[in-house]
Structure 1
């Protein structure tokens, strides 16, 4: 037998359900804006800073920070959130742990890896890390090569790389005919190309970019296609960030990347890093 409820009781129950739903929606909306609201209440955006040129640099005399992730963090805090920005000195071993324990709000210049994604969330990439190649543009063996790594994979071409690195692993996976000169350090690998004992320097694109800027008379960068060991370089944020808060920072980064402003910041930071050297 089905019992019918009095209309007044039905009304009360419906009202209670509606009220609960509204409270739940209000709580969810409050949670979605909590991170940037908390930063604005505090009046300061804290950026975790582990030094790695040209992403994050620190003047040993003044303690001032520079680098293109520093520029992005400062600009986002001051112009979007309208707060003061501070940089908290740390190292690469503690950058993720400090983010998890709320010692800073953003971790700068984290390569996107599955292992890190277990601990933190990532923004869209500000730039991309990948293994790149650097050649002497006056070398006839490589002068006509643009981005096709197969065109470099010849018996007469020698690739210089630091032994045991991610770059070594990446180039070893695609070179079948060329020679690979494995050296104990990057200085030795760069010297091998400078002295023409090797034809191609294999390194991360950011450090190859610095090296090319320092040697514009002969050095030329090559970003091979398909890309080698490509990873996004992003801001790290806590995993409990809301989708709405994350999208605020993502929109900011996408707009600055699409307009070419981030590349301009990269070039500025690279010139500064070379001047410091």
Structure 2
């Protein structure tokens, strides 16, 4: 009887030891070693949802461009030493594609608390916020700087697209100026051009394109910032800290050197050239 009990206890100890050994083993690399897997595959897959000037695609050739595309390509080829592969998708599927492993990074996602529950974010490559467009010769703003109070005055009319983030942000910040809510960007631009509106408030990337194409327009980034969010690469939440740190260091350096600003201008110029050719 004693021998029987001893054997059972001994067998139980062996099973317990084996179970503890399994629990103490590191997680499988397939789920956690992001850049290691990329190196093995030889490609960095980037989910590509179209939104100029971040991500663009030529309908005839299928070639991708835009400044997030250029950053993805440069990081793949010059940092990771692999090829970049762009996977066509929609904005609705960007996060799901990361979670299911269809691509390694999603491009140009706004960093929001809700998305941060599902994916990891790099440092922002650029910032999204509301900017203001004015006629550079408008005497109402001859002494204006970048402070929002310089534009929030009686007798000033601000055009916004009704129901947008710009409408919400400006409505909450403006106390004295008059809001002109219009159905679309064509209407708001026409209001500024015809001087029915003194200011056009819209997303900074959209406004930047219009300012580049029209020399009479001055672009103002207001202080305090309106609806500011980082625009980043998104990766799996399982991405190791050291892998994410490598991407962060790359983006920080590119941004500090002014290279990202140059890429933004190149993408904007490409869009303007295409519009003129039509």
**TM-score when normalising by structure 2:** 0.88
1:261 aligns with: 259
Deviation track 1:209-233 (CA, whole Å, cap 9, x = no partner) reads: 00100112x1000000110110000
Query: C-alpha displacement at 1:239, in angstroms?
Result: 0.8
Query: C-alpha displacement at 1:187, in angstroms?
Result: 1.1
> 1:205 and 2:220 equivalent?
no
Moved more, 69-78 or 142-151: 142-151
Alignment of 1:4-19 (within 5 A): none
2:108 aligns with: 109
For 2:156 and 2:86, the matched residues in 1 are separated by 45
For 1:177 and 1:201, the matched residues in 2 are separated by 16
DSSP-derived class of the 1:94 partner: helix
Moved more, 124-133 or 32-41: 32-41
Deviation track 1:108-144 (CA, whole Å, cap 9, x = no partner) reads: 0000111111111100000000011000001111232
Q: Is the 8 A contact 1:47 1:106 kept in 2?
A: yes
Q: Is the 8 A contact 2:107 2:232 kept in 1?
A: yes
2:234 aligns with: 236
Q: Is the 8 A contact 1:33 1:244 kept in 2?
A: no
For 1:31 and 1:261, the matched residues in 2 are separated by 34
Deviation track 1:132-182 (CA, whole Å, cap 9, x = no partner) reads: 100000111123212011111111110000011110010011111111000
Moved more, 71-80 or 96-105: 96-105
Correspondence for 2:218 among 192, 200, 220: 220
2:3 aligns with: none
Q: Is the 8 A contact 2:98 2:235 kept in 1?
A: yes
1:73 aligns with: 72
- Stretches of structure 1 lacking an aligned partner (at least 5 in a row): 1-15
Q: Is the 8 A contact 1:32 1:243 kept in 2?
A: no
DSSP-derived class of the 2:146 partner: coil
**TM-score when normalising by structure 1:** 0.88
For 2:155 and 2:70, the matched residues in 1 are separated by 43
Query: C-alpha displacement at 1:276, in angstroms?
Result: 1.7
For 2:96 and 2:144, the matched residues in 1 are separated by 43
For 2:66 and 2:114, the matched residues in 1 are separated by 26
Query: C-alpha displacement at 1:30, in angstroms?
Result: 6.1
2:92 aligns with: 93
Q: Is the 8 A contact 1:49 1:107 kept in 2?
A: yes
Number of aligned residue pairs: give it: 254
> 1:62 and 2:61 equivalent?
yes
- Stretches of structure 2 lacking an aligned partner (at least 5 in a row): 1-16
2:42 aligns with: 43
1:129 aligns with: 128
> 1:152 and 2:151 equivalent?
yes
Q: Is the 8 A contact 1:99 1:238 kept in 2?
A: yes
For 1:119 and 1:174, the matched residues in 2 are separated by 31
